[in-house]
Structure 1
């Protein structure tokens, strides 16, 4: 679709609602049922919207529907437009629009509980949904969330990141292994055996080690749960951030300080463009919670 925007019939609210339903369900049949329309009607409405915009919003080339990059970008704009229209008729509607915050692991570390509690107190009409998604951007580029807590550098085009604090790295070793009794470890200590790498959402790669002292081998996994299970089984050691010890305790894993590894920035990331109207409030509250420090923010409930 590259003929440019159509100058025919204008886009109506029903076009946006149909697209948002398809974007949420990723299935035309379920979207039609949700809208109480027929499947052909939804397909025609979506096609008309794409024709008007002159871009493809939904990839139909596979057995499962998926949003194109343009579809992901347009989803936010369409959602804001529909919400603004609904809010003009129902002022309570916009405030009840959930704000979805993604993370791949550990969320905000020790600041997670203070953030959730403070948000509930100050914005009770806008639920803050914390979603763990095993993805490099915690579902942000797919449009599954409105913002995400990410660790490490973010170089994905179209994303805007704000650094909130820096976490120390820790080593994760088998509780019954030879390293478990040490007070702390170095990268060289871990390089003597295999290192377990989460290649889907983790930030540790072999580049963390100097070129002349890389680990003897690696074991790759796709999520935090498998990462912990492999380490507990003694198949390798791992490297993560300090908050992982509090949010992901495991009876078979011991977390130890890693003396010579650089810290990891913890970022609040959003898409560059229109988004959920409560995002500025989330950013401001996150800054405030971090500025208090873990002890004061946690209020006796730190480590989550």
Structure 2
């Protein structure tokens, strides 16, 4: 059997609607048609994608793994078949919190000067892959592990970590100097489990922060720190991209640097991806390096 777009669309409708009946209504067809389409897709894949044992259908582990791939495939097909795509479509650069720090504006200006016929869009998308796995962007700078993003990556640079503390905290007092992880260990730690790179595991096991404050994005992370509810650890790019009058960024010693990689889907979803990768390396002051395979860093 050849898998067609209708099989993927039916699977996505079931996954997003949580049931065959609602999926059929969304697709404008009958419930038996949707059920048969799903069965044929599962036969082709050789696995069950949807658990039908409960009234509210749920994806199996294989179904959850297949979901992002199906979304990306449908998005790519829709883009390819869109008549508007015959006009040069924008190159989409996704990021989840800091892009390239202060170099973001430089990159955008250089791109406009050197590639005036190809619009470059900067999109903030708060997920671990910055929209790459879902086909929403073409390239993304990532600091969190990229193994789940099904992308090729190449190292752009490494970034030093800094502590983020309330501006009126004694930890930010003038002349105090750099902080250490031990200086922060007794305080609540703001953690972004969606796209952040810092967890209590950064500390030695016997001296880890005992309490965390979970946030969903950089704005909430800043608010928690500004209010004195937590401290944070991040990279220098955050200090550049997210200045806040109530948050002080203080150099941090004894913490490993964070690798910043450029990630893109293979094959690239836009013909100008390689040009953007090359320019990003130029802006960062480093030559382009050999790309790595999916999920590697």
Corresponding residue of 2:93: 101
| 1:216 aligned onto 2:217 | no
Contact 2:156 2:286 in 1 (8 A): no
Corresponding residue of 2:109: 117
Q: State the alpha-carbon separation in 1 of the partners of residues 284 and 235 from structure 2.
A: 17
The secondary structure found in structure 1 opposite 2:275 is helix
Corresponding residue of 2:279: 285
- Give the CA deviation at 1:148: 1.3
The aligned runs of 1:267-278 (5 Å cut-off) are 267-278=261-272
Corresponding residue of 2:295: none
Corresponding residue of 2:244: 250
Q: State the alpha-carbon separation in 1 of the partners of residues 229 and 153 from structure 2.
A: 35
Contact 2:144 2:196 in 1 (8 A): no
Contact 2:151 2:264 in 1 (8 A): yes
Corresponding residue of 1:135: 127
- Give the CA deviation at 1:159: 2.0
Corresponding residue of 2:193: 199
User: What's the TM-score once normalised by structure 1's chain length?
Assistant: 0.72
Q: State the alpha-carbon separation in 1 of the partners of residues 187 and 71 from structure 2.
A: 46
Corresponding residue of 1:161: 153
Q: Structure 2 stretches of 5 or more lacking a match? A: 18-26, 58-62, 288-297
Post-superposition CA distance 1:167-190 (Å, at most 9, x none): 110000111112111221010001
- Distance 1:226-1:121 versus aligned 2 partners, 3 A rule: same
- Give the CA deviation at 1:232: 1.0
Corresponding residue of 1:73: 69
Structure 1, 146-155 or 109-118: larger mean CA deviation: 146-155
| 1:228 aligned onto 2:222 | yes
Structure 1, 189-198 or 137-146: larger mean CA deviation: 137-146
- Give the CA deviation at 1:70: 4.2
- Give the CA deviation at 1:72: 4.0
- Give the CA deviation at 1:84: 6.1
- Distance 1:149-1:60 versus aligned 2 partners, 3 A rule: farther
Q: State the alpha-carbon separation in 2 of the partners of residues 271 and 157 from structure 1.
A: 8
The secondary structure found in structure 1 opposite 2:152 is strand
The secondary structure found in structure 2 opposite 1:258 is strand
The secondary structure found in structure 2 opposite 1:121 is helix
Q: State the alpha-carbon separation in 2 of the partners of residues 258 and 204 from structure 1.
A: 13
- Distance 1:74-1:179 versus aligned 2 partners, 3 A rule: same
Contact 1:83 1:94 in 2 (8 A): no
- Distance 1:263-1:246 versus aligned 2 partners, 3 A rule: same
User: What's the TM-score once normalised by structure 2's chain length?
Assistant: 0.73
Q: State the alpha-carbon separation in 1 of the partners of residues 67 and 170 from structure 2.
A: 51
The secondary structure found in structure 2 opposite 1:130 is strand
Q: Structure 1 stretches of 5 or more lacking a match? A: 1-5, 28-37, 294-304
